[in-house]
Amino acid sequence: MSSVPPPPSPSLATPPSSPPPTNLPLRQIPGSYGFPLLGPISDRLDYFWFQKPEGFFRKRMEKYKSSVFRTNVPPSFPFFMNVNPNVIAVLDCNSFSHLFDMELVEKKDVLVGDFVPSVAYTGNIRVGVYQDVSEPQHSKVKKFSMDILKRSSSIWVPELVSNLDIFWDNIEATLSKSKSAGYLFPLQQFLLNFLCKTMAGADTSRDTNIANSGYIMLDKWLALQLIPTISIGILQPLEEIFLHSFTYPFFLVSGDYNNLYNFIKQHGKEVIKRGETEFGLSEDEAIHNLLFVLGFNAYGGFSVFLPSLIDAIASDSTGLQEKLRKEARETGGSTLSFDSIKDMELIQSVVYETLRLNPPVPLQFARARKDFRLSSHDSAFDVKKGELLCGFQKLVMRDPVVFDEPERFKPDRFTKEKGVQLLNYLYWSNGPQTGTPSVSNKQCAGKDYVTLTAALIVAYLFRRYDSIKGDGSSITALQKAK
């Protein structure tokens, strides 16, 4: 097995982080922010209530006949007085790619827009994800994160397979007694056990409280930070009144977070010590950044992404499963590894296509570092220093100029030479899939681990089962491999 995941193919030329200057016609950015207070409130109600996020952006694209326009995104008035909801939406691949050009934009405190959850949620430490590349601390934390992943590679696959065995054994046991098996919470428990062991060197079985309830603690911690920015789907106007009008205080989950903190502190000592001795972090900085990368980025991202992947496969009726089964069993050798996945072209493509249609992070933000000229496919626009750019990835990844039949799930879209070149425009990880995470950019440190892990899960699935039926929350049938 390789000690680290294979890098992107060197034959692929990674495109520049933003489009080169063009002779496109210069156009004033359409749209407006409306009247103070009233404009943001109107847009907030459209975003969460009347149109929902995808409809919100689509309708404005149609109205302005442009993939670049001015609008407001939540949160906003009344109890977010220090949050400016004004953004420039960038909704095609060309304009969106400017979000990765660190010479043009900065990423300081823009993870979820102008709104920043209280630092109390991260031990009163501003963790790396909120830091711009120009900040000295960013380099330390990014190197620490990449080192964690590199060192975990030797146990990543065996731990994954071991925990998958337990997860699917439990699903089978439930199906033996019931017509369906809900898997969302068991999946999160599996993720927590797996990620704690691989990333922190911490075995959840050593702490009964974490083993049984750690995933619930993380869910609550994640939810309270993000509630003002996401739609829960409860009865309106209750959602607007109680979830989107104010922030929830940290003390509601302080006990849970302290339990997670103490678990990592006690059982992840080796990783924490490296953070101190090799990367110049304090003990607190190492623990809180490790917890954020593990709990917010990895656990949170996988919790959103994997159900979409399972749904795409388990609900398919086009014969995809037969093709996946054939590839999983006839290529890659007898033992699953990072190397074996390289030979499974269709499985990798299915993972990429799921990320294209259902990126785990819906919105990406960046603030203009200076005045610059932004280009879409058909126009150029002047952006002023300090303006906030916002890309809704679900629409960006349906750009009809780049992706043929963009609304359709095409399992083999990213196969063969033409399909592989499309990876230059698969932006789910805060950069192109062909990009490389480094201290000079904000691309997800675990980008390759996410896609390889998802591909390994699919390969495992079809080496264990002939077929699977279900959707994004439950499994209804499993046929064991003959």
CB 453 within 8 A of CB 157: no
CB 192 within 8 A of CB 260: no
CA angle 173, 175, 176 (to 5 degrees): 65
Q: Residue 367's closest CA among 84, 64, 138?
A: 84
CB 429 within 8 A of CB 443: yes
Give bridge partners of residue 112 from the DSSP assignment: 115
The CA distance from 440 to 386, in Å, is 20
Q: Is 93 annotated as a binding residue?
A: no
As a whole number of angstroms, the longest Cα–Cα distance in the chain is: 66
The CA distance from 379 to 22, in Å, is 9
Per the document, the length of the chain is 482
Binding annotation: 444
Binding annotation for heme: 444
